[in-house]
Chains A and B, each alone.
Chain A
């Protein structure tokens, strides 16, 4: 036994030191990896960055033959489809999570949860095929109806192709729903019994308890689930490419074809010829990377503000 002196830190043993070094190197490895990705993206897109400057971000022409490039249609498409996906998926997933955690009869919970976790594991190409063969034909009559009766809303104009921004957003919604549902269910289940009992003891109904203290307690976790899903929606490639229609024109209509950054890369990278073209595509990759980081940072900020406003110590 070594003597302990008051005020001195506990002397680390050799295994302690080894362990600490190991952990540090893993953590550092992650940072280095991130930095390397950034460096590769920046260095390879350098020619494009120099040639087009910041206006690349808001130019809308995309003509590789004339070497005219603008990123806006793809940024727009990426954000629009992700927004559709979240708008559809968040209420759906929360409902499903509440049902699974609170309302479903016990015998239904396990199989239901299993199916949902299975959905999260389906490869995206399968979702894409399903979208093309099932969702798109289903959307056509709906779109035709909306165009006929609601075309005074700019969202519902164009032609009923089936494919387009809406189809892509819906496919994304279906893909991220299992993620949000599974995590939110776990978050809701992890709300301590004491919190629920406190609410019930004040004469709250089951629904008031869920809507109030339970969701409030779990809000940080649920927000985390939504973010994870958003990350996936922003970066999803295959399924979106198959149903979005791949048009470089910006349109306010949900029914018109569009394009996302990820699907642009998937489609054009292999055929890109010439240094400018390749480096432009890498700059698109860089923008996607930065966009993801910014979204995450914003979300962290939101999370921090939400928890701080409640004066609640972060328990993680």
Chain B
């Protein structure tokens, strides 16, 4: 059974580089991701500890999205994609033959760059995922849905704004609200990891701050990996930062250190805005 296979708790290797005491949830070992023959991610070895926010930074085209999307097998749909090396989830190969990608995506949720709510009601946006995945109980479904919607919207700091209009279209919300709806939708699956690919790049500064506050609240319950182009954002929200350049991992460590005293000159130059 695939679900059992993924469910079995295993000892994660303690993250040595980061010095974090948390067990590792996702781990790349010499991971390569290639589009046909073009490598977009080259030989990356990187740990993501549990209940920590890790940000992936680097200039445009350096492979951040590619790497992020290989954690929930979102790249599977791209023809010609090749993954080499290993990407482990709780010590087990995410690309092993016995792994069902659908099962992976139930546990590893994702929030995209552009808010992409379904053109359905706010309510429907949230319950659809759990419903198709059979998470709803057989009886008392209505009450269960209501409770779920409220819990997720509260979790995404959106409840107060939309509680009177749950049956209006998700598209009737502002961009920032839509993005929080997408976060709420991801929370509804109760994932272990949430991947975010530039979740604020389409938002104004106020909405951005709200999302950042939200990430701060979610960090105690979820493992979060966030791609961002905004250096202040990386500094504000993340515990750990990884800097990628042309597909290579240049440096990885506590955010504090990366931003104040990086080991590599390249990292410093990128962070201070001298290139990229």
Contact = CB atoms under 8 A, between A and B. Distances in A.
Contact of A212 (B117, B128, B168): B128
A200 B120 contact: no
A217 interface: yes
B21 interface: no
Given A201-B109, A203-B102, A311 B121 contact: yes
Interface string A92-113: 0000000000000010000000
Contacts of A208: 132
Contacts of A204: 102, 129, 132-133
Contact of B132 (A192, A197, A201, A212): A212
A171 B112 CA distance: 47
Interface string A182-207: 00000000001011011111111100
A213 interface: yes
B118 A198 contact: yes
B158 interface: no
Contact of B112 (A198, A205, A217): A198
B189 A312 contact: no
Where chain B touches its partner, the secondary structure class is: mixed
Contacts of B118: 195, 198-199, 213, 216-217
Where chain A touches its partner, the secondary structure class is: helix
B227 interface: no
A313 B117 CA distance: 14
A203 B106 contact: yes
Contact of B105 (A194, A203, A216, A313): A203
A310 interface: yes
Interface string B97-117: 000001101100110101011
B114 A194 contact: yes
B103 A203 contact: yes
A216 B116 contact: no
Nearest to A313: B171
Interface residues of B, number: 31
A181 to B, nearest CB: 24
B248 interface: no
Contact of B119 (A201, A202, A310): A310
Nearest to B124: A310
Contact of B169 (A197, A201, A310): A310
B172 interface: yes
B68 to A, nearest CB: 12
A202 B134 CA distance: 12
A208 B72 CA distance: 18
B156 to A, nearest CB: 15
B185 interface: yes
A212 B129 CA distance: 11
B3 to A, nearest CB: 11
A198 B119 CA distance: 11
A295 to B, nearest CB: 26
Given A195-B116, A216-B118, A310-B120, A202 B74 contact: no
A-B interface, 5 closest residue pairs, ranked by CB to CB distance from nearest: A311-B169, A203-B106, A202-B129, A194-B116, A201-B110
Interface of B: 72, 74, 77, 79, 102-103, 105-106, 109-110, 112, 114, 116-121, 128-129, 132-133, 167-169, 171-172, 182, 185-186, 189
7 contacts: A198-B182, A200-B77, A203-B105, A203-B132, A204-B102, A205-B102, A311-B169
